[in-house]
Amino acid sequence: MQSSINRHGLPPDPDELIAEGDPPFADAAEQTAREEADESLNALQHEVRLLNARIGMLREDAEAALKAKATSVDASAHVQLGDYPWLKLAAAIGATFIAARLVRRLPLGVLLAGFAGHLSEARPR
């Protein structure tokens, strides 16, 4: 602590009268708690901004991975089925649907007879 008059003959600055670590007034503890809360809030806000940035990067990575996978699947379909692979695949599904409808209309006895005849020929003697 300093004396009540400084070397210039003026009253000292109130901050100079306070020793290190002494609260300057009764509400100082509340202010420091508020300052600590503000610092904690600022730190949390900073962490939230960092997490949002990381989430954004993960979204971009996931989007890029999905686009790469879709490109790979499309290229694979072109390699296996040639030009217009989805049209050829749709035609195959349509033909299967029509064949299934035709098989349903056949009488069951005819199917079983044909199947039994085929089995008797295929069985080893």
Print the SS3 string covering 55-89: HHHHHHHHHHHHHHHHHHHHHHHHHHHCCCHHHHH
Mean pLDDT value across residues 100-113: 79
Q: What is the pLDDT of residue 121?
A: 72
**Which stretch, 32-46, 54-68, 106-120, has highest mean pLDDT?**
54-68
Stated pTM of the model:
0.41
* Residues with Cβ within 8 Å of residue 103, at least 6 apart in sequence: 111
> Does residue 63 surpass a pLDDT of 90?
yes
Q: Can you read off the two tokens belonging to residue 82? A: 């040639």
* Residues with Cβ within 8 Å of residue 12, at least 6 apart in sequence: 2, 3, 4, 5, 6
* Residues with Cβ within 8 Å of residue 5, at least 6 apart in sequence: 11, 12
For 86-96, the pLDDT digits (tens) are: 888 899 999 99
> Does residue 1 surpass a pLDDT of 50?
no
Task: Name the residue with higher pLDDT: 123 or 116.
Answer: 116
Mean pLDDT value across residues 44-55: 96
Mean pLDDT value across residues 36-61: 94
Q: Mean pLDDT across the chain, nearest whole number?
A: 80
